[in-house]
Every structure is written in C-alpha cells, then in structure tokens.
Amino acid sequence: RRCAGPHRRMDSKEDASQLKLGEEFKDARCLWNAEVAVILEQLMGRAGNKLKSLAMVEDTLAYVTKFKNFRNKADVQEARKFAAEEIEKGVIEGFEMAVINNCGILNEEEAMELIPTLNDKFQNREGELQDFLDQLTERFSE
C-alpha cells in the first residue's frame, strides 16, 4: 500500500469524521497553525534565501500567520500544555484539538457541527464543551 501521492487508495477503515485517520497518523501529532508559523520562522531564519522553495515557504508562512491564534512561541506552549492535559484526561483527541484551534472554533454548537466525534463525547454533558472552549480561548493572543 502506498502512503503518499494523489493515487493513494483510501483504506475503508479510514474516516476522519470518526477519528479513524489510518496507520500513518496513529502516533502523529497534529500541528496548529501557530506551531507551523514558529517552525517556518525558524527555518527561514536559518536558511534564508538558500531554500529551494522559498516562495512556497513564504506563502505557507503568510497563511498560518494570518490564521494563527497565538502571537508567539510562549503563548503556543502555554496553550499546548493546556491541550495536552485535556488530551491526557481523555476530554478531547489531538486531531479534534487541532481542528478546533486551526478553524478558530469558539462555540459549542459550531464545534459539534464541524467535528462529529464531539457529539458522542459531550452528549448529555451540556456546557462542558463550551467551558473547555472558553478555557482554550482565554489563552488566545489578542
């Protein structure tokens, strides 16, 4: 089975709406836009104009900078620590957290609509997801 490329066959067991992401993502960490921005800023600082695909890196950096929720590395680390604690407690999965963060989801209804797996987790637990989202957004940079 091929792992990459446009012709990769999708395993019938893969379904992102059910958090079945496939073996390639079993132990992968989902990055947030703000984390990608930090990585690319460091890369550009080290490599500068030596990057073969500088335009692509610059375009990607512009995108993630526009949509990141955290101003600097320290803010990202604080939010990631909070997220790791919630993931460890089983409140949320890393993929769900990345979607919430990267899409800028601020309310429970939107989260439930965009991330189907949250419906089962927070069924009959009214307000808990909103409390979680509120705690996360408290860490957003202004």
Which one of 1-5, 10-14, 76-80 scores highest in mean pLDDT? Answer: 76-80
Helix or strand run (H / E) with residue 42? helix 33-47
Chain segment 32-87, per-residue pLDDT in tens: 999 999 999 888 888 866 777 788 888 999 999 998 888 888 888 988 999 999 99
Determine how many CB atoms are found less than 10 A away from the CB of residue 15: 13
What pTM does this model have? 0.74
Which runs of E-coded beta strand occur in 23-118? none
Q: What is the distance between the alpha carbons of residues 102 and 69, in angstroms, rounded to a whole number?
A: 8
Answer yes or no: is pLDDT of 2 > 60: no
Helices 33-47 and 54-67 meet at what angle, rounded to 10?
A: 140
Rounded to 10 degrees, what is the CA torsion of 28, 33, 36, 40?
160
